[in-house]
Structure 1
Amino acid sequence: MSALNQSAQVLKSLHQRPHKPLVLANVYDILTARAVAELPSSETLATASYSVAQAAGTTDNDLTLDENLTAVKGIAAVAKEFNKPLTVDFQDAYGSKLEEGINKLLDLGVAGINLEDYDNTTQQLMDAQTAVDRIRRTLDVAKERNVPDFVVNARCDVLVLGGKMEEVVKRGKSYLDAGATTVFVWGGKRDVSKAEVEHMVKEFGGRLNVSLKRSADGLTIKELADLGVARISMGPALQILAMKAFQDEAAKLFSQL
């Protein structure tokens, strides 16, 4: 068994613990990767493409494959140093560059990805079969590279685009059938209710990833764990907090003049 597949197996196993979800403090560069990796309680490293783009001076929509890979290279070195699996937010896998990109991620020691069903080029939701095929193509590349346990967290953007829960469930099940480890359902500014989380956990057999909403009315990590969610992401929230703290401290310095 390859060392990378062992890492992928570890990552996959972290999604399969009843009522103990994998919690991700998403990173975006070497400094943040090291800050998280040094914590004994952190089990894996995970990137957020929005944050990677911001750190690179661009936007999530304009982040290129090469820019993403440049950030991943440094983060992957930290993951290797601390012997922790790395999963990468790979957006929509950059159209026709999917196989090229997955191979380059595997070269860097990446054990899993987020894969979106929103086509960044057309700015539209992919049809379900295209999204399924891209999951299968990703896993085919990984198998060819002797990483059969490569983790795909298949993001479903139906809700954020105004679609119905019925379509989320239908797509999510097809993504899982295609080999995805979990389905990441993101609502954007549209809140995902407790009842909806419960419904998706049931329909997906617990294989659900959600974003943690940092507000008084959001479900806590403990509440999401009790509901049976497999994975909880922070996305760019920590970067936003960090930059606000940086700015506040700078303002304090200037205020002393």
Structure 2
Amino acid sequence: MSTQNDIAKAFKALHKPGNPIILTNVWDAITAKTVASLPATKALATASYAIAAAAGTPDEELTLEVNLRAVEAIAKIAKQFDLPLTVDFQDGFGDQLEEGLRAVIKLGAVGINLEDLSRESNRLYSIEEAQERIRRVMKIAEEEGVPDFVVNARTDALFTSPSNDLDEAIARGKAYLAAGASNIFIWGGPSRKGWGKAGIEEATKVLKGRLNVILVRMAPGGLSVKELGEIGVSRISVGPQLMIRTSGAVAEEANAILEGQSI
């Protein structure tokens, strides 16, 4: 019987530069079961923005308690389908980092996304502070019996710096890998300024492929899964895009019903 750390090791091994793991992020038990049922699904991943939206709150106001309730339901599906689960954990919910991490590990998670933008101050943690938080995560995970826990360390430096500086984001990524993160997620921000193919190629080269990139499905011009794989990234996710597209489909169907259209 596989231990939780066996599952963590298997999940970590799926992060292969040039042959990336693809995560179609979910937000509740229904979406988790739908995605888990697909033969190509290798793991489940949550999206905090979508979880917050489902709870009727903005992403920046999502509480640890609300996030954990959603994770609990999704974790049951992950266990049912014998799939690894990674949780979008924002910045670790400030001072609740240890409490929350132990809770998600007890629910069965084998990885998290951890951001370097503080919810409380809306400013980036210093590199040293962010590194220490990653080290704390890995120490707690080891104490909980999951030393191969997968931290996907997200940096928001690209869109928060006045110069939109990719160099700072890459430097932070290198520092986070040195602190124990398995992978780096450089987020371009809501407007995606300064983050395109050339930037992804540069970051992939410096970080030796240990890069998570968002697959853009909601706007023209985004790189395909094939193109991102050829660049050499090791992880592709979609964030809340499935939730946004699903909402549109529900609205369209509901409107047809309300207008008296037959199927």
TM-score (normalised: structure 1): 0.97
Contact map agreement 1:2 1:146 (CA 8 A) in 2: no
Residue aligning to 2:19: 20
Shift of 1:18: 3.5
How many Å separate the matches in 1 of 2:102 and 2:2? 15
Which residues of 2 match residues 204-243 of structure 1 at below 5 A?
A: 204-214=207-217, 215-243=219-247
Shift of 1:173: 0.2
Contact map agreement 1:2 1:147 (CA 8 A) in 2: no
Contact map agreement 1:88 1:112 (CA 8 A) in 2: yes
Contact map agreement 2:17 2:210 (CA 8 A) in 1: no
Shift of 1:190: 2.1
One-letter amino acid matched to 2:257: L
How many Å separate the matches in 1 of 2:148 and 2:78? 18
The runs of 5 or more residues in structure 1 that have no matched partner are none
How many Å separate the matches in 1 of 2:214 and 2:61? 22
One-letter amino acid matched to 1:190: R
Residue aligning to 1:6: 6
Contact map agreement 2:21 2:234 (CA 8 A) in 1: yes
The runs of 5 or more residues in structure 2 that have no matched partner are none
Deviations 1:63-96 (CA, angstroms, capped at 9, x unpaired): 0000000000000000000000000000000111
One-letter amino acid matched to 2:12: K
Shift of 1:152: 0.1
| Residue aligned with 1:119, SS | coil
Which residues of 2 match residues 52-131 of structure 1 at below 5 A?
A: 52-131=51-130
One-letter amino acid matched to 1:73: E
Shift of 1:159: 1.0
Shift of 1:182: 0.5
How many Å separate the matches in 2 of 1:104 and 1:235? 22
How many Å separate the matches in 1 of 2:126 and 2:236? 26
Runs ≥4 residues deviating over 2 A: none
Residue aligning to 1:254: 258
How many Å separate the matches in 2 of 1:155 and 1:217? 23
How many Å separate the matches in 2 of 1:240 and 1:98? 28
TM-score (normalised: structure 2): 0.95
Shift of 1:105: 0.8
How many Å separate the matches in 1 of 2:229 and 2:167? 23
| Residue aligned with 1:124, SS | coil
Q: 1:203 aligns with which of 192, 202, 206?
A: 206
One-letter amino acid matched to 2:210: R
How many Å separate the matches in 2 of 1:212 and 1:83? 25
What number of residue pairs does the alignment pair up? 256
Residue aligning to 1:175: 176
How many Å separate the matches in 2 of 1:227 and 1:76? 32
Shift of 1:2: 7.0
